Amino acid sequence: MRYFVIIGQTATASGEFLLDDLPGSSGRLDVLLRCIRAALSFSHGLRHDTRVYLVLRGGAQAPRTLRIDGASAKFIRPDERSLAILVKKTLAAAVNLPASGFVELRPGLAVSRGDWQCALPDMHGAALYWLEQSALDIRNAELAPGTMAFFLGDHHGLNAETQGELLALGAVPLSVGPVSLHSDDVVTLVGNELDRRSV
């Protein structure tokens, strides 16, 4: 299994954003939506071995985490507006969530209260990595066999507190090259490296 956890510092945790102005109305949820496509899609369908967690730290409902499971998700289309509609409906349906645990609200889409730590029970035994520009190149890294989880930030990157918490859990920082890229490009590059190693 592959897990991608993308942390949106300002991305709204509620469905109250405008489809016609995603960047301006959603706390840059658009950055995270593009990561869904990059993580889950390939030419012929969805990656059944991959789950994406979008950590939504913006707005009154924050923090919440949205989980999209490539094995069971339906209606995942690659265009941004379709993804936005799906996420908007899912977040709007997330009322009376329990104090902890994911609640599936649409096929393969589940929401939990809480920051990225709420995803940890799903990742039991996974090797943890986080993406940072100055770290060891993933091409030269020894990656653990089996399940891996990759944490990355939005356009603001991961803040120092989150980096510290991940380090305390033994997470290893990695980079994907010499140029600082958009989050969805980073997801694409990590996915490609894993594809190459799993042949």
Residue (of 149, 198, 139) closest to 172 by Cα position? 149
Closer residue to a copy of itself in complex, CB, 21/104 = 21
Q: Is 199 in the site for a copy of itself (CB under 8 A)?
A: yes
40: helix, coil or strand? helix
Site string for a copy of itself, 112-151 (x = CB under 8 A): ----------------------------------------
Crossing angle (nearest 10°) for helices 29-40 and 80-92: 110
Q: Using CB under 8 A, pick the residue from 9, 65, 112, 188 that binds a copy of itself.
A: 188
Closer residue to a copy of itself in complex, CB, 23/101 = 23
Are 47 and 64 spatial neighbours (Cβ–Cβ below 8 Å)?
no
For the chain, how many residues are written? 199
Q: Using CB under 8 A, pick the residue from 77, 100, 107, 169 that binds a copy of itself.
A: 77
Are 180 and 133 spatial neighbours (Cβ–Cβ below 8 Å)?
yes
Q: Residue-wise over 4-18: b if at least 16 C-beta within 10 A, else e? A: bbbbbbbbbbbbebe
Site string for a copy of itself, 166-185 (x = CB under 8 A): ----------xxxxxxx--x
Q: Is 49 in the site for a copy of itself (CB under 8 A)?
A: no
CA distance 192 to 177: 13
Bridge partners for 72 per DSSP: none
Identity of residue 196: R
Compute the least distance from the CB of residue 139 to a copy of itself, in Å.
8
Q: Is 16 in the site for a copy of itself (CB under 8 A)?
A: no
Compute the least distance from the CB of residue 20 to a copy of itself, in Å.
7
Dmax over Cα atoms in the chain, in whole Å? 46
Contact residues toward a copy of itself (CB under 8 A) are 19-20, 22-23, 30-31, 34, 37-38, 41-44, 77-82, 155, 176-182, 185, 188-189, 192, 195-196, 199
